[in-house]
Amino acid sequence: MNSKGKVLIVDDDADFTKTTEMILKSGGYEVAVAMDAKVGLDAVKTAQPDVVVLDIMMETMFEGFSFLSTLRTAPEFEEFKTTPVLMVSSVKSDTGSRFMFDDPEDMGNLSQPDDYMDKPLKPNALLGKVASLIRKPR
């Protein structure tokens, strides 16, 4: 079976990564997993993903934002700075509110993720977002 693309999941929740990996694999994607931002940045270089699914809150509250900033601005990640990033968070189900980003039309600028989803993720919605991010011109 030909792969639809490579997806890197960066999240410290083993249950989430396992479930998300199964969904993506069933959708025809190759999947790599990293359990924290540091390992995730290393994995970007080795896996060379077409899309990154990135949790916002891992070891620290803003670890996902730190990952995104490094990916988009650090010289050693120059070739990956336009890799689409789908940020995910359970903050809405935990607190009732969600992370807000600037104007959705501005998603994709270097300080923003390319898209955002609240956990728990719906399988078809996840597959649709990943597919659209891979097709989106960079």
Q: CA torsion, points 81, 87, 111, 91, in degrees to nearest 10?
A: -160
Query: What is the torsional sign of CA 18, 94, 85, 137?
Result: positive
Out of 33-42, 101-110, 127-136, least confident range: 101-110
| pLDDT one-digit tens code per residue, 35-77 | 999 999 999 999 999 999 999 989 888 899 999 999 999 999 9
**Cβ neighbour number for residue 77 with a 10 Å cutoff:** 15
CA distance 6 to 50: 5
Residue 42 in tokens: 């290393």
As a CATH number, domain 6-135 is 3.40.50.2300
**Residues 98, 70 contacting (CB under 8 angstroms):** no
